[in-house]
Structure 1
Amino acid sequence: MDLLIRNLSMEYGKTAIFSNLNADLQSGNLIGLLGPNGAGKTTLIRILTTLLKPTHGKVMVDGKDIISKPQVMRSILGYLPQQVPYFPNLTAREYLNYIADMKGMNIKETKHQVETLLEKLHLANTGSKYVKNFSGGMRQRVGIAAMLLNDPKIIIADEPSTGLDPEERAILRNILSELARDHLVLLSTHIVSDVEAIASQVLLIKEGNFLYQGTPENLVEKSTGYVWEYSIDKNAKSFEVPNQFEKPTISLTQKSDGVQIREISDKPQQLNAKQVSPTLEEAYLGVIKGVITL
Protein backbone atom coordinates (compact mmCIF):
# COMPACT_ATOMS: atom_id res chain seq x y z
CA MET A 1 0.00 0.00 0.00
CA ASP A 2 1.35 3.42 -1.00
CA LEU A 3 0.66 6.76 0.68
CA LEU A 4 1.81 9.63 -1.51
CA ILE A 5 1.98 13.29 -0.50
CA ARG A 6 2.12 15.67 -3.45
CA ASN A 7 2.72 19.45 -3.29
CA LEU A 8 0.84 19.67 -0.01
CA SER A 9 0.31 23.15 1.41
CA MET A 10 -1.63 24.41 4.40
CA GLU A 11 -2.36 28.03 5.23
CA TYR A 12 -4.34 29.72 7.98
CA GLY A 13 -5.13 33.19 6.68
CA LYS A 14 -1.78 34.62 5.61
CA THR A 15 0.20 32.18 7.73
CA ALA A 16 1.72 29.21 5.90
CA ILE A 17 2.06 26.12 8.09
CA PHE A 18 3.85 24.28 5.30
CA SER A 19 4.20 24.55 1.53
CA ASN A 20 4.76 22.00 -1.23
CA LEU A 21 5.48 18.96 0.93
CA ASN A 22 6.21 15.76 -0.98
CA ALA A 23 6.80 12.24 0.33
CA ASP A 24 6.40 8.60 -0.73
CA LEU A 25 5.45 6.17 2.06
CA GLN A 26 4.94 2.41 1.65
CA SER A 27 3.62 -0.52 3.66
CA GLY A 28 6.22 -2.60 5.44
CA ASN A 29 7.77 0.46 7.04
CA LEU A 30 7.59 2.27 10.33
CA ILE A 31 8.07 5.94 9.50
CA GLY A 32 9.09 8.33 12.24
CA LEU A 33 7.82 11.87 11.67
CA LEU A 34 10.28 13.89 13.73
CA GLY A 35 10.35 17.58 14.47
CA PRO A 36 10.25 20.12 17.29
CA ASN A 37 7.00 21.42 18.74
CA GLY A 38 5.35 23.79 16.28
CA ALA A 39 7.02 22.24 13.23
CA GLY A 40 3.72 21.33 11.57
CA LYS A 41 3.56 17.65 12.53
CA THR A 42 0.08 17.65 14.02
CA THR A 43 -1.38 19.71 11.14
CA LEU A 44 0.09 17.22 8.66
CA ILE A 45 -1.29 14.30 10.68
CA ARG A 46 -4.76 15.86 10.74
CA ILE A 47 -4.68 16.18 6.94
CA LEU A 48 -3.51 12.58 6.48
CA THR A 49 -6.32 11.37 8.76
CA THR A 50 -8.89 13.46 6.77
CA LEU A 51 -9.69 15.73 9.73
CA LEU A 52 -8.44 18.78 7.83
CA LYS A 53 -8.46 19.74 4.18
CA PRO A 54 -5.24 21.27 2.84
CA THR A 55 -5.10 24.57 1.01
CA HIS A 56 -3.40 22.92 -1.96
CA GLY A 57 -2.05 19.54 -2.96
CA LYS A 58 -3.02 15.89 -2.88
CA VAL A 59 -2.71 12.86 -0.63
CA MET A 60 -3.24 9.53 -2.39
CA VAL A 61 -3.63 5.98 -1.11
CA ASP A 62 -2.91 3.46 -3.85
CA GLY A 63 -3.66 6.15 -6.42
CA LYS A 64 -6.95 7.32 -4.85
CA ASP A 65 -7.18 10.92 -3.66
CA ILE A 66 -8.27 10.93 0.00
CA ILE A 67 -8.88 14.69 0.01
CA SER A 68 -11.83 14.37 -2.35
CA LYS A 69 -12.72 10.84 -1.16
CA PRO A 70 -11.94 10.71 2.59
CA GLN A 71 -13.72 7.38 3.09
CA VAL A 72 -10.88 5.71 1.19
CA MET A 73 -8.59 6.51 4.10
CA ARG A 74 -11.12 6.21 6.92
CA SER A 75 -11.99 2.62 6.00
CA ILE A 76 -8.38 1.43 6.46
CA LEU A 77 -7.11 3.83 9.14
CA GLY A 78 -6.17 3.33 12.77
CA TYR A 79 -5.55 6.71 14.39
CA LEU A 80 -4.30 7.71 17.82
CA PRO A 81 -4.56 11.49 18.39
CA GLN A 82 -2.51 13.43 20.95
CA GLN A 83 -5.50 13.67 23.26
CA VAL A 84 -7.29 10.33 23.40
CA PRO A 85 -11.08 10.87 23.35
CA TYR A 86 -13.02 8.79 25.85
CA PHE A 87 -16.34 8.59 27.65
CA PRO A 88 -15.66 8.76 31.41
CA ASN A 89 -18.73 6.73 32.37
CA LEU A 90 -17.85 3.77 30.16
CA THR A 91 -15.56 0.95 31.18
CA ALA A 92 -12.53 0.20 29.01
CA ARG A 93 -14.30 -2.83 27.57
CA GLU A 94 -17.49 -0.85 26.86
CA TYR A 95 -15.50 1.92 25.21
CA LEU A 96 -13.67 -0.53 22.93
CA ASN A 97 -16.95 -2.23 22.03
CA TYR A 98 -18.37 1.17 21.11
CA ILE A 99 -15.37 1.96 18.88
CA ALA A 100 -15.61 -1.47 17.26
CA ASP A 101 -19.28 -0.83 16.48
CA MET A 102 -18.34 2.53 14.93
CA LYS A 103 -15.85 0.66 12.73
CA GLY A 104 -18.56 -1.76 11.59
CA MET A 105 -17.10 -4.89 13.21
CA ASN A 106 -19.31 -7.91 13.87
CA ILE A 107 -20.01 -9.08 17.45
CA LYS A 108 -17.86 -12.22 17.34
CA GLU A 109 -14.78 -10.48 15.96
CA THR A 110 -15.26 -7.56 18.34
CA LYS A 111 -15.25 -9.78 21.41
CA HIS A 112 -12.10 -11.62 20.28
CA GLN A 113 -10.16 -8.49 19.37
CA VAL A 114 -11.19 -6.50 22.46
CA GLU A 115 -10.09 -9.25 24.84
CA THR A 116 -6.86 -9.83 22.91
CA LEU A 117 -5.95 -6.15 22.95
CA LEU A 118 -6.83 -5.71 26.63
CA GLU A 119 -4.47 -8.60 27.40
CA LYS A 120 -1.69 -7.37 25.12
CA LEU A 121 -1.79 -3.87 26.60
CA HIS A 122 -1.92 -5.08 30.21
CA LEU A 123 -5.50 -3.92 30.70
CA ALA A 124 -7.20 -7.28 31.20
CA ASN A 125 -7.67 -6.75 34.94
CA THR A 126 -9.05 -3.24 34.46
CA GLY A 127 -11.38 -3.80 31.50
CA SER A 128 -14.45 -3.55 33.73
CA LYS A 129 -13.34 -0.34 35.44
CA TYR A 130 -14.49 3.13 34.42
CA VAL A 131 -12.08 5.01 32.18
CA LYS A 132 -12.54 8.17 34.28
CA ASN A 133 -10.65 6.43 37.09
CA PHE A 134 -7.68 5.50 34.90
CA SER A 135 -4.30 7.17 35.02
CA GLY A 136 -3.13 9.11 31.96
CA GLY A 137 -0.96 6.19 30.86
CA MET A 138 -3.83 3.71 31.16
CA ARG A 139 -6.13 5.96 29.11
CA GLN A 140 -3.38 6.16 26.49
CA ARG A 141 -3.24 2.36 26.34
CA VAL A 142 -7.02 2.22 25.87
CA GLY A 143 -6.57 4.66 22.98
CA ILE A 144 -3.88 2.42 21.49
CA ALA A 145 -6.23 -0.55 21.71
CA ALA A 146 -8.98 1.46 19.97
CA MET A 147 -6.51 2.41 17.22
CA LEU A 148 -5.69 -1.25 16.54
CA LEU A 149 -9.28 -2.53 16.36
CA ASN A 150 -10.31 -4.04 13.00
CA ASP A 151 -6.70 -4.49 11.85
CA PRO A 152 -6.24 -1.14 10.03
CA LYS A 153 -3.85 -1.17 7.06
CA ILE A 154 -2.53 2.31 7.83
CA ILE A 155 -1.71 3.25 11.43
CA ILE A 156 -1.03 6.86 12.40
CA ALA A 157 -0.08 7.76 15.95
CA ASP A 158 0.46 11.34 17.13
CA GLU A 159 2.77 11.46 20.19
CA PRO A 160 1.61 8.00 21.34
CA SER A 161 4.06 7.68 24.26
CA THR A 162 2.53 10.63 26.16
CA GLY A 163 1.93 9.58 29.77
CA LEU A 164 3.44 6.11 29.35
CA ASP A 165 6.03 4.75 31.76
CA PRO A 166 9.21 3.03 30.40
CA GLU A 167 7.64 -0.44 30.37
CA GLU A 168 4.54 0.82 28.58
CA ARG A 169 6.68 2.66 26.03
CA ALA A 170 8.62 -0.55 25.35
CA ILE A 171 5.37 -2.47 24.84
CA LEU A 172 4.11 0.20 22.43
CA ARG A 173 7.35 0.15 20.43
CA ASN A 174 7.19 -3.64 20.16
CA ILE A 175 3.56 -3.58 18.98
CA LEU A 176 4.21 -0.89 16.35
CA SER A 177 7.40 -2.60 15.18
CA GLU A 178 5.55 -5.89 14.74
CA LEU A 179 2.70 -4.20 12.86
CA ALA A 180 5.12 -2.40 10.54
CA ARG A 181 6.10 -5.70 8.91
CA ASP A 182 2.95 -5.67 6.78
CA HIS A 183 1.29 -2.33 7.59
CA LEU A 184 2.16 1.29 6.98
CA VAL A 185 2.89 2.82 10.40
CA LEU A 186 3.47 6.55 10.82
CA LEU A 187 4.62 7.67 14.24
CA SER A 188 4.73 11.42 14.89
CA THR A 189 6.88 12.55 17.80
CA HIS A 190 9.51 15.01 18.99
CA ILE A 191 11.13 12.28 21.13
CA VAL A 192 13.81 10.67 18.98
CA SER A 193 14.25 7.67 21.29
CA ASP A 194 10.64 6.64 20.51
CA VAL A 195 11.66 5.77 16.93
CA GLU A 196 15.43 5.24 17.16
CA ALA A 197 15.25 1.47 17.60
CA ILE A 198 12.29 0.70 15.33
CA ALA A 199 11.98 3.22 12.47
CA SER A 200 12.96 2.08 8.98
CA GLN A 201 12.45 5.59 7.62
CA VAL A 202 12.36 9.09 9.09
CA LEU A 203 10.80 12.33 7.92
CA LEU A 204 12.42 15.30 9.61
CA ILE A 205 10.26 18.41 9.54
CA LYS A 206 11.04 21.93 10.72
CA GLU A 207 9.03 25.10 10.14
CA GLY A 208 6.85 23.32 7.59
CA ASN A 209 9.67 21.88 5.47
CA PHE A 210 11.03 18.37 5.17
CA LEU A 211 14.75 18.69 5.94
CA TYR A 212 15.41 14.98 5.49
CA GLN A 213 13.67 11.88 4.15
CA GLY A 214 15.37 8.51 4.30
CA THR A 215 16.69 5.82 6.61
CA PRO A 216 17.94 6.59 10.12
CA GLU A 217 21.25 4.96 9.23
CA ASN A 218 21.79 7.30 6.29
CA LEU A 219 21.00 10.35 8.44
CA VAL A 220 23.56 9.22 11.01
CA GLU A 221 26.12 8.59 8.26
CA LYS A 222 25.59 12.08 6.82
CA SER A 223 26.18 13.51 10.30
CA THR A 224 29.53 11.76 10.78
CA GLY A 225 32.29 14.24 11.53
CA TYR A 226 30.09 16.66 13.46
CA VAL A 227 30.13 15.12 16.94
CA TRP A 228 33.01 15.63 19.36
CA GLU A 229 33.61 14.30 22.84
CA TYR A 230 35.81 15.55 25.64
CA SER A 231 35.94 15.49 29.43
CA ILE A 232 36.36 18.02 32.16
CA ASP A 233 38.27 16.69 35.18
CA LYS A 234 36.45 17.47 38.40
CA ASN A 235 39.80 18.35 40.00
CA ALA A 236 40.76 20.79 37.27
CA LYS A 237 41.56 24.30 38.52
CA SER A 238 39.30 25.89 35.93
CA PHE A 239 36.33 23.54 36.23
CA GLU A 240 33.63 25.19 34.10
CA VAL A 241 30.73 23.27 32.56
CA PRO A 242 29.33 24.76 29.32
CA ASN A 243 25.91 26.38 29.57
CA GLN A 244 23.44 24.03 27.84
CA PHE A 245 20.97 26.85 27.24
CA GLU A 246 23.56 28.94 25.43
CA LYS A 247 24.75 25.89 23.47
CA PRO A 248 21.79 23.52 23.04
CA THR A 249 23.90 21.18 20.89
CA ILE A 250 25.85 20.07 23.98
CA SER A 251 25.02 17.04 26.12
CA LEU A 252 26.56 16.42 29.54
CA THR A 253 27.07 13.17 31.43
CA GLN A 254 28.26 13.08 35.01
CA LYS A 255 31.10 10.59 35.58
CA SER A 256 32.95 9.66 38.77
CA ASP A 257 36.05 11.59 37.63
CA GLY A 258 34.31 14.62 36.09
CA VAL A 259 31.91 15.53 33.29
CA GLN A 260 31.83 13.94 29.83
CA ILE A 261 30.72 16.38 27.14
CA ARG A 262 29.50 15.64 23.63
CA GLU A 263 29.16 18.60 21.30
CA ILE A 264 27.71 18.89 17.81
CA SER A 265 29.91 21.20 15.77
CA ASP A 266 31.74 21.42 12.45
CA LYS A 267 35.03 21.70 14.33
CA PRO A 268 36.19 20.79 17.85
CA GLN A 269 35.80 23.42 20.55
CA GLN A 270 38.48 21.87 22.78
CA LEU A 271 42.01 20.74 21.94
CA ASN A 272 41.48 17.40 23.64
CA ALA A 273 38.19 16.67 21.83
CA LYS A 274 37.98 13.49 19.80
CA GLN A 275 35.61 12.75 16.97
CA VAL A 276 32.95 10.14 17.80
CA SER A 277 30.10 8.45 15.97
CA PRO A 278 26.81 10.36 16.23
CA THR A 279 23.62 8.92 17.64
CA LEU A 280 20.34 9.42 15.77
CA GLU A 281 19.33 12.00 18.37
CA GLU A 282 22.55 13.95 17.79
CA ALA A 283 22.10 13.77 14.02
CA TYR A 284 18.53 15.02 14.41
CA LEU A 285 19.54 17.83 16.77
CA GLY A 286 22.40 18.90 14.51
CA VAL A 287 20.10 19.20 11.49
CA ILE A 288 17.32 20.97 13.44
CA LYS A 289 19.78 23.49 14.90
CA GLY A 290 21.37 24.14 11.50
CA VAL A 291 24.80 22.81 12.47
CA ILE A 292 24.55 19.93 10.00
CA THR A 293 23.52 20.77 6.44
CA LEU A 294 22.28 17.88 4.33
Structure 2
Amino acid sequence: MLSVEHVTKNYGRFTALGDISLTFTPGVYGLLAPNGAGKTTLIKMLTTLLFPTKGQILWEGEDIQVLGAEYRGLLGYLLQQFGYYPNYTSRQFLRYAAALQCIPRREVDGRIEALLETVGLGDVADEKMKKFSGGMPQRVGIAVAMLNDPKQLILDEPTAGLAPRERVRFRNLIHALSGERIVILSTHIVSDIETIAGQIVMFRDHRLYCCDSPARICAQFQGRVFQLPAGTALAPGQFLLSEGQGEDGLVLRVLCDTPPIGGAMVTSGLEDAFLAIYREGQP
Protein backbone atom coordinates (compact mmCIF):
# COMPACT_ATOMS: atom_id res chain seq x y z
CA MET A 1 0.00 0.00 0.00
CA LEU A 2 1.22 3.49 -0.89
CA SER A 3 0.08 6.33 1.37
CA VAL A 4 0.37 10.07 0.82
CA GLU A 5 -0.16 11.75 4.17
CA HIS A 6 -0.85 15.48 4.37
CA VAL A 7 1.75 16.26 1.71
CA THR A 8 2.46 19.84 0.71
CA LYS A 9 5.00 20.96 -1.89
CA ASN A 10 6.04 24.60 -1.93
CA TYR A 11 8.32 26.46 -4.29
CA GLY A 12 9.04 29.60 -2.32
CA ARG A 13 5.67 31.25 -1.78
CA PHE A 14 3.97 29.16 -4.47
CA THR A 15 2.14 26.03 -3.33
CA ALA A 16 2.18 23.40 -6.08
CA LEU A 17 0.20 20.94 -3.93
CA GLY A 18 -1.38 21.62 -0.58
CA ASP A 19 -2.19 19.09 2.17
CA ILE A 20 -2.75 16.08 -0.12
CA SER A 21 -3.77 12.76 1.46
CA LEU A 22 -4.28 9.66 -0.71
CA THR A 23 -4.07 5.89 -0.39
CA PHE A 24 -3.16 3.68 -3.36
CA THR A 25 -3.80 -0.06 -3.44
CA PRO A 26 -3.43 -2.41 -6.45
CA GLY A 27 -5.44 -1.17 -9.44
CA VAL A 28 -5.39 1.61 -12.02
CA TYR A 29 -5.56 5.22 -10.85
CA GLY A 30 -5.94 8.13 -13.23
CA LEU A 31 -4.53 11.52 -12.26
CA LEU A 32 -6.83 13.78 -14.25
CA ALA A 33 -6.46 17.55 -14.17
CA PRO A 34 -5.51 20.43 -16.48
CA ASN A 35 -1.84 21.14 -17.09
CA GLY A 36 -0.28 22.92 -14.14
CA ALA A 37 -2.66 21.45 -11.55
CA GLY A 38 0.05 19.42 -9.78
CA LYS A 39 -0.07 15.98 -11.43
CA THR A 40 3.61 15.89 -12.36
CA THR A 41 4.61 17.33 -8.98
CA LEU A 42 2.88 14.43 -7.23
CA ILE A 43 4.46 11.89 -9.58
CA LYS A 44 7.93 13.32 -8.98
CA MET A 45 7.39 13.00 -5.24
CA LEU A 46 6.13 9.43 -5.61
CA THR A 47 9.29 8.59 -7.56
CA THR A 48 11.60 10.47 -5.12
CA LEU A 49 12.66 12.99 -7.76
CA LEU A 50 11.21 15.63 -5.43
CA PHE A 51 10.52 15.58 -1.70
CA PRO A 52 7.56 17.07 0.17
CA THR A 53 7.88 20.37 1.96
CA LYS A 54 5.51 18.96 4.58
CA GLY A 55 3.99 15.55 5.19
CA GLN A 56 5.29 12.14 4.20
CA ILE A 57 4.83 9.36 1.67
CA LEU A 58 4.79 5.81 3.03
CA TRP A 59 5.24 2.43 1.36
CA GLU A 60 3.84 -0.36 3.54
CA GLY A 61 4.06 2.01 6.50
CA GLU A 62 7.68 3.12 5.97
CA ASP A 63 8.83 6.52 4.75
CA ILE A 64 10.03 6.25 1.16
CA GLN A 65 12.86 8.71 1.87
CA VAL A 66 14.20 6.31 4.48
CA LEU A 67 13.71 3.27 2.23
CA GLY A 68 15.68 5.02 -0.54
CA ALA A 69 17.05 2.60 -3.16
CA GLU A 70 14.96 -0.26 -1.77
CA TYR A 71 11.81 1.70 -2.57
CA ARG A 72 13.03 2.83 -5.99
CA GLY A 73 13.65 -0.81 -6.85
CA LEU A 74 9.89 -1.36 -6.60
CA LEU A 75 9.10 1.34 -9.18
CA GLY A 76 8.53 1.29 -12.91
CA TYR A 77 8.45 4.83 -14.29
CA LEU A 78 7.78 6.12 -17.81
CA LEU A 79 8.37 9.82 -18.34
CA GLN A 80 6.34 11.90 -20.76
CA GLN A 81 9.40 12.29 -22.99
CA PHE A 82 10.94 8.83 -23.25
CA GLY A 83 14.61 9.06 -24.27
CA TYR A 84 16.31 6.26 -26.19
CA TYR A 85 19.22 5.55 -28.50
CA PRO A 86 17.79 5.48 -32.04
CA ASN A 87 20.52 3.19 -33.39
CA TYR A 88 19.70 0.51 -30.81
CA THR A 89 17.16 -2.18 -31.48
CA SER A 90 14.46 -2.56 -28.86
CA ARG A 91 16.09 -5.80 -27.67
CA GLN A 92 19.49 -4.07 -27.34
CA PHE A 93 17.95 -1.14 -25.51
CA LEU A 94 16.17 -3.40 -23.05
CA ARG A 95 19.41 -5.25 -22.35
CA TYR A 96 21.11 -1.91 -21.76
CA ALA A 97 18.31 -0.80 -19.40
CA ALA A 98 18.48 -4.12 -17.55
CA ALA A 99 22.22 -3.67 -17.03
CA LEU A 100 21.64 -0.20 -15.57
CA GLN A 101 19.12 -1.74 -13.16
CA CYS A 102 21.61 -4.48 -12.20
CA ILE A 103 19.17 -7.24 -13.17
CA PRO A 104 21.12 -10.54 -13.29
CA ARG A 105 22.00 -11.55 -16.86
CA ARG A 106 20.56 -15.03 -16.36
CA GLU A 107 17.14 -13.46 -15.83
CA VAL A 108 17.31 -10.87 -18.58
CA ASP A 109 16.84 -12.59 -21.92
CA GLY A 110 13.69 -14.52 -21.06
CA ARG A 111 12.13 -11.49 -19.41
CA ILE A 112 12.95 -9.28 -22.40
CA GLU A 113 11.43 -11.71 -24.87
CA ALA A 114 8.24 -11.93 -22.81
CA LEU A 115 7.99 -8.14 -22.51
CA LEU A 116 8.57 -7.57 -26.22
CA GLU A 117 5.68 -9.91 -26.95
CA THR A 118 3.51 -8.23 -24.32
CA VAL A 119 4.00 -4.76 -25.84
CA GLY A 120 3.53 -6.07 -29.39
CA LEU A 121 7.12 -5.63 -30.61
CA GLY A 122 8.24 -9.24 -30.82
CA ASP A 123 8.31 -9.20 -34.62
CA VAL A 124 10.41 -6.00 -34.83
CA ALA A 125 12.69 -6.65 -31.85
CA ASP A 126 15.82 -6.50 -34.02
CA GLU A 127 14.92 -3.41 -36.04
CA LYS A 128 16.63 -0.15 -35.11
CA MET A 129 14.38 2.11 -33.10
CA LYS A 130 15.01 5.04 -35.44
CA LYS A 131 12.76 3.21 -37.91
CA PHE A 132 9.90 3.01 -35.42
CA SER A 133 6.80 5.11 -35.93
CA GLY A 134 3.89 6.34 -33.87
CA GLY A 135 3.72 4.90 -30.38
CA MET A 136 6.29 2.14 -30.88
CA PRO A 137 9.03 3.90 -28.88
CA GLN A 138 6.52 4.44 -26.05
CA ARG A 139 5.85 0.71 -26.03
CA VAL A 140 9.58 0.14 -25.57
CA GLY A 141 9.37 2.59 -22.67
CA ILE A 142 6.62 0.51 -21.06
CA ALA A 143 8.79 -2.59 -21.44
CA VAL A 144 11.71 -0.77 -19.78
CA ALA A 145 9.45 0.29 -16.90
CA MET A 146 8.34 -3.33 -16.46
CA LEU A 147 11.82 -4.90 -16.49
CA ASN A 148 12.02 -5.16 -12.71
CA ASP A 149 8.44 -6.46 -12.38
CA PRO A 150 7.52 -3.36 -10.36
CA LYS A 151 5.00 -3.11 -7.56
CA GLN A 152 4.17 0.37 -8.83
CA LEU A 153 3.94 1.43 -12.48
CA ILE A 154 3.87 5.21 -12.85
CA LEU A 155 3.18 6.78 -16.24
CA ASP A 156 3.40 10.53 -16.87
CA GLU A 157 1.33 11.64 -19.91
CA PRO A 158 2.24 8.44 -21.79
CA THR A 159 -0.16 8.97 -24.70
CA ALA A 160 0.64 12.61 -25.46
CA GLY A 161 1.05 13.02 -29.21
CA LEU A 162 -0.03 9.48 -30.11
CA ALA A 163 -2.49 8.68 -32.88
CA PRO A 164 -5.94 7.40 -31.77
CA ARG A 165 -5.15 3.77 -32.67
CA GLU A 166 -1.90 3.83 -30.66
CA ARG A 167 -3.70 5.44 -27.72
CA VAL A 168 -6.25 2.61 -27.71
CA ARG A 169 -3.44 0.03 -27.92
CA PHE A 170 -1.66 1.77 -25.05
CA ARG A 171 -4.76 1.80 -22.85
CA ASN A 172 -5.32 -1.90 -23.46
CA LEU A 173 -1.69 -2.59 -22.60
CA ILE A 174 -1.90 -0.64 -19.35
CA HIS A 175 -5.02 -2.54 -18.34
CA ALA A 176 -3.31 -5.85 -19.07
CA LEU A 177 -0.29 -4.89 -16.95
CA SER A 178 -2.25 -3.73 -13.90
CA GLY A 179 -2.72 -7.16 -12.30
CA GLU A 180 -1.64 -7.05 -8.66
CA ARG A 181 0.30 -3.79 -8.93
CA ILE A 182 -0.50 -0.13 -8.46
CA VAL A 183 -0.71 1.69 -11.80
CA ILE A 184 -0.80 5.48 -11.68
CA LEU A 185 -1.49 7.22 -14.99
CA SER A 186 -1.19 10.99 -15.23
CA THR A 187 -3.04 12.68 -18.08
CA HIS A 188 -5.32 15.50 -19.12
CA ILE A 189 -6.88 13.35 -21.87
CA VAL A 190 -10.17 12.07 -20.47
CA SER A 191 -10.61 9.14 -22.86
CA ASP A 192 -7.25 7.69 -21.80
CA ILE A 193 -8.56 6.74 -18.38
CA GLU A 194 -12.34 6.70 -18.66
CA THR A 195 -12.47 2.98 -19.45
CA ILE A 196 -9.47 1.60 -17.54
CA ALA A 197 -9.13 3.55 -14.28
CA GLY A 198 -10.98 2.25 -11.26
CA GLN A 199 -10.29 5.49 -9.37
CA ILE A 200 -9.86 9.04 -10.68
CA VAL A 201 -7.76 11.50 -8.69
CA MET A 202 -8.54 15.14 -9.46
CA PHE A 203 -6.87 18.31 -8.18
CA ARG A 204 -8.33 21.80 -8.14
CA ASP A 205 -6.62 24.94 -6.89
CA HIS A 206 -3.58 22.72 -6.11
CA ARG A 207 -5.54 20.68 -3.59
CA LEU A 208 -7.22 17.30 -3.77
CA TYR A 209 -10.69 17.64 -5.27
CA CYS A 210 -11.64 13.96 -5.24
CA CYS A 211 -10.46 10.36 -5.46
CA ASP A 212 -13.44 8.38 -6.67
CA SER A 213 -14.75 6.06 -9.38
CA PRO A 214 -15.63 7.52 -12.79
CA ALA A 215 -19.27 6.56 -12.23
CA ARG A 216 -19.53 8.44 -8.94
CA ILE A 217 -17.79 11.51 -10.36
CA CYS A 218 -20.20 11.57 -13.30
CA ALA A 219 -23.21 10.95 -11.04
CA GLN A 220 -22.97 14.38 -9.44
CA PHE A 221 -23.82 15.94 -12.82
CA GLN A 222 -26.64 13.58 -13.85
CA GLY A 223 -29.79 15.53 -14.61
CA ARG A 224 -27.78 18.73 -15.10
CA VAL A 225 -26.40 18.25 -18.62
CA PHE A 226 -28.63 19.23 -21.55
CA GLN A 227 -28.31 19.34 -25.31
CA LEU A 228 -29.42 22.45 -27.18
CA PRO A 229 -29.41 23.41 -30.87
CA ALA A 230 -26.31 25.32 -31.94
CA GLY A 231 -26.81 29.07 -31.87
CA THR A 232 -29.05 28.99 -28.80
CA ALA A 233 -28.37 31.98 -26.56
CA LEU A 234 -27.40 30.81 -23.10
CA ALA A 235 -29.29 32.21 -20.14
CA PRO A 236 -27.73 33.12 -16.78
CA GLY A 237 -26.79 29.99 -14.87
CA GLN A 238 -26.16 27.98 -18.04
CA PHE A 239 -22.56 26.98 -18.76
CA LEU A 240 -21.39 25.74 -22.15
CA LEU A 241 -19.49 22.47 -21.77
CA SER A 242 -18.81 21.65 -25.41
CA GLU A 243 -20.07 21.77 -28.98
CA GLY A 244 -20.52 18.69 -31.12
CA GLN A 245 -22.35 16.98 -33.92
CA GLY A 246 -25.85 15.70 -33.25
CA GLU A 247 -28.34 13.83 -35.41
CA ASP A 248 -29.72 17.10 -36.82
CA GLY A 249 -26.50 19.12 -36.95
CA LEU A 250 -24.37 21.00 -34.46
CA VAL A 251 -25.48 20.96 -30.84
CA LEU A 252 -24.41 22.48 -27.54
CA ARG A 253 -23.89 20.52 -24.32
CA VAL A 254 -24.87 22.78 -21.46
CA LEU A 255 -24.60 22.46 -17.67
CA CYS A 256 -27.44 24.00 -15.65
CA ASP A 257 -29.65 23.21 -12.68
CA THR A 258 -32.96 24.09 -14.36
CA PRO A 259 -34.01 22.35 -17.61
CA PRO A 260 -33.63 24.90 -20.43
CA ILE A 261 -36.43 25.62 -22.90
CA GLY A 262 -35.93 23.42 -25.96
CA GLY A 263 -33.24 21.36 -24.25
CA ALA A 264 -32.97 17.60 -24.02
CA MET A 265 -31.41 15.96 -20.98
CA VAL A 266 -28.42 13.75 -21.84
CA THR A 267 -26.31 11.31 -19.84
CA SER A 268 -23.25 13.01 -18.41
CA GLY A 269 -19.88 11.44 -19.17
CA LEU A 270 -16.47 11.91 -17.63
CA GLU A 271 -15.62 14.59 -20.18
CA ASP A 272 -18.70 16.55 -19.13
CA ALA A 273 -17.68 16.16 -15.49
CA PHE A 274 -14.12 17.26 -16.27
CA LEU A 275 -15.31 20.38 -18.12
CA ALA A 276 -17.84 21.16 -15.39
CA ILE A 277 -15.30 20.82 -12.57
CA TYR A 278 -12.65 22.88 -14.34
CA ARG A 279 -14.96 25.38 -16.03
CA GLU A 280 -13.71 28.89 -16.60
CA GLY A 281 -14.45 31.18 -13.71
CA GLN A 282 -14.84 28.26 -11.30
CA PRO A 283 -14.16 29.62 -7.78
Alignment TM-score, normalising by the size of structure 1:
0.87
Matched, 1:271 2:278: no
Residue 141 of structure 1 is matched in structure 2 by 139
Q: Distance in 2 between matches of 1:153 and 1:248?
A: 42
Among candidates 69, 75, 88, match of residue 73 of structure 2 = 75
Tell me the CA shift for residue 215 of structure 1: 1.2
Tell me the CA shift for residue 86 of structure 1: 1.5
Mapping of 1:1-294 within 5 angstroms? 2-27=1-26, 29-135=27-133, 137-232=135-230, 240=231, 249-255=240-246, 257-268=248-259, 270-289=260-279
Q: Distance in 2 between matches of 1:199 and 1:291?
A: 28
Tell me the CA shift for residue 202 of structure 1: 0.8
Residue deviations 1:158-208, cap 9 Å, x none?
111123333322222222223323111111100111010111111001231
CA contact (8 A) 1:140 1:164 kept: no
Write the letter of the residue equivalent to 2:34: P
Task: Quote the sequence identity (%).
Answer: 38
CA contact (8 A) 1:265 1:291 kept: no
Write the letter of the residue equivalent to 1:39: A
Write the letter of the residue equivalent to 1:14: R
Figure out how many residues of one structure are paired with residues of the other and give that number.
280
CA contact (8 A) 2:241 2:276 kept: no
| Unaligned ranges ≥5, structure 2 | none
Aligned partner of residue 110 in structure 1, secondary structure: helix
| Unaligned ranges ≥5, structure 1 | 233-239
Residue deviations 1:14-63, cap 9 Å, x none?
21111111111111x11111000011111110110111112111000110
CA contact (8 A) 1:157 1:186 kept: yes
Tell me the CA shift for residue 136 of structure 1: 5.2
Q: Distance in 1 between matches of 2:241 and 2:58?
A: 41
Query: Residues 257, 19 of structure 1: CA spacing in aligned structure 2 closer, same or farther, 3 A cutoff?
Result: closer
CA contact (8 A) 2:241 2:275 kept: no
Q: CA RMSD in A?
A: 2.3
CA contact (8 A) 1:264 1:291 kept: no
Q: Distance in 2 between matches of 1:291 and 1:277?
A: 24
CA contact (8 A) 1:203 1:214 kept: yes
Write the letter of the residue equivalent to 1:67: Q
Tell me the CA shift for residue 155 of structure 1: 0.6
Aligned partner of residue 135 in structure 2, secondary structure: helix
Tell me the CA shift for residue 128 of structure 1: 2.2
Q: Which is worse superposed, 220-229 or 86-95?
A: 86-95
Query: Residues 242, 142 of structure 1: CA spacing in aligned structure 2 closer, same or farther, 3 A cutoff?
Result: farther
Query: Residues 229, 147 of structure 1: CA spacing in aligned structure 2 closer, same or farther, 3 A cutoff?
Result: same
Aligned partner of residue 67 in structure 1, secondary structure: helix
Query: Residues 162, 113 of structure 1: CA spacing in aligned structure 2 closer, same or farther, 3 A cutoff?
Result: farther
Write the letter of the residue equivalent to 1:45: I
CA contact (8 A) 1:32 1:199 kept: yes
Write the letter of the residue equivalent to 1:85: G
CA contact (8 A) 2:47 2:72 kept: yes
Write the letter of the residue equivalent to 2:18: S
Query: Residues 291, 224 of structure 1: CA spacing in aligned structure 2 closer, same or farther, 3 A cutoff?
Result: farther
Q: Distance in 1 between matches of 2:204 and 2:248?
A: 38
Query: Residues 17, 291 of structure 1: CA spacing in aligned structure 2 closer, same or farther, 3 A cutoff?
Result: closer
Write the letter of the residue equivalent to 1:259: L
Tell me the CA shift for residue 291 of structure 1: 8.8
Q: Which is worse superposed, 171-180 or 90-99?
A: 171-180
Aligned partner of residue 146 in structure 1, secondary structure: helix
Alignment TM-score, normalising by the size of structure 2:
0.90
